Amino acid sequence: MQVSKNAKSLIAASTLALAATGFGGAALLPSATAAPAKDCRTYSSATVCGELSLTPAQNTCVTRSVEQGMTERRAEVECSQLP
């Protein structure tokens, strides 16, 4: 059986793609020993990661913003930008 050059190229590319993804994408899954991802979020061009230490004034801002319907996570980010 004779295989054309195009077929050989396709087979080689498919083999390479399968090897790169761990035969079905298993290599793309995070391992159990991988470092935990940071809890980062961005709102209104402000990015924060992890747990925030807010001042009393910033905490008041968060409370008021949540009472007005903003999510707590967003309020924390936006209010953390206050002095």
Residues 5-52: pLDDT tens digits?
A: 555 554 555 554 444 445 554 455 555 565 567 889 999 888 999 888
DSSP-assigned letter for residue 28: G
pLDDT at 38: 81
Contact assessment for residue 82 and residue 61, using Cβ atoms and an 8 Å cutoff: yes
Contact assessment for residue 72 and residue 66, using Cβ atoms and an 8 Å cutoff: yes
Domain residue ranges in the chain? 1-32, 36-83
| Residue 60's pLDDT band (cuts 50, 70, 90) | very high
pTM for the full model?
0.54
